C-alpha cells in the first residue's frame, strides 16, 4: 500500500501531536549553546560523533568534546552518577580529583581520572552540570604526560559556555 502526500503529512502531524509539548521543546534545546573553540592553530574541529562539538590536538594527542541532553529523563540526573557513566569504559581507573565546579552560574561536578583505554594510558577530565531542562557534559582526554599542556584550552571552553535556547 502506498501513501499519498496528504496521508503521509497527516500521519506525521499526528505523531508530532502525540508527543508532549515539553518533550518537543526539550529536544529543540539540544546543542543550543555556545562555547569558544580552542585555538584553531592547534585544535582542529572534528566530527563529534554522538556529541555536539569536538576538537582534536594532534601534537598533544588530545580531544575536547561538549554535549547536551535535554528532557525529563535528563532533568534529575545527578552529576555524580552521570560522571560515573562517562568514565565507565576506563580500565584500572585512578581518581585524581572529584569536586564541585561552577559553570555558567550552575554548580556541577568535575572529575579527573587516569587509566587505560584500549591499552593506552589516558587522563580524562569530565564536567557535568544541569541548566533548565538540559544536562551538559564537557570532556577533555589526553595522555597523562600531555594533560597539563592542554588543560588551559579545556578551561577556556568551560569558561565560555553560554546557553542560547529558550528554557521550556
- Structural domains present in the chain: 5-163 (3.40.1000.10)
What was the pLDDT predicted at 30? 53
- In the chain, the DSSP E strands lie at 33-34, 44-45, 53-57, 62-70, 91-103, 106-117, 120-131, 134-142, 162-163
Q: Which residues pair with 67 in a beta bridge?
A: 137
pTM of the model: 0.78
Q: What is the mean pLDDT of the chain?
A: 80
pLDDT exceeds 90 at position 149:
yes
82 or 44, greater pLDDT: 44
What was the pLDDT predicted at 1? 43
| Mean pLDDT, residues 132-148 taken together | 92
pLDDT exceeds 60 at position 3:
no
Residues near 120 by Cβ (< 8 Å), separated by ≥ 6? 143
Amino acid at each position: 500500500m502506498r501513501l499519498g502526500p496528504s496521508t503521509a503529512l497527516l500521519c506525521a502531524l499526528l505523531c508530532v501531536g502525540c508527543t508532549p509539548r515539553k518533550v518537543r521543546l526539550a529536544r529543540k534545546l539540544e546543542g543550543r549553546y555556545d562555547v569558544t573553540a580552542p585555538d584553531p592553530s592547534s585544535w582542529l574541529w572534528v566530527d563529534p560523533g554522538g556529541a555536539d562539538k569536538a576538537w582534536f590536538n594532534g601534537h598533544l594527542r588530545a580531544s575536547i568534546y561538549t554535549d547536551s541532553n535535554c528532557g525529563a529523563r535528563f532533568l534529575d540526573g545527578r552529576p555524580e552518577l552521570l560522571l560515573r557513566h562517562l568514565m565507565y569504559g576506563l580500565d584500572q581507573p585512578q581518581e585524581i580529583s572529584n569536586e564541585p565546579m561552577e559553570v555558567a552560574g550552575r554548580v556541577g561536578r568535575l572529575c579527573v581520572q587516569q587509566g587505560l583505554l584500549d591499552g593506552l594510558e589516558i587522563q580524562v577530565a569530565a564536567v557535568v552540570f544541569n541548566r533548565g531542562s538540559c544536562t551538559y557534559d564537557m570532556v577533555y582526554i589526553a595522555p597523562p604526560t600531555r594533560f597539563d599542556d592542554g588543560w588551559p584550552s579545556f578551561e577556556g571552553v568551560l569558561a565560555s559556555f553560554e546557553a542560547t535556547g529558550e528554557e521550556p
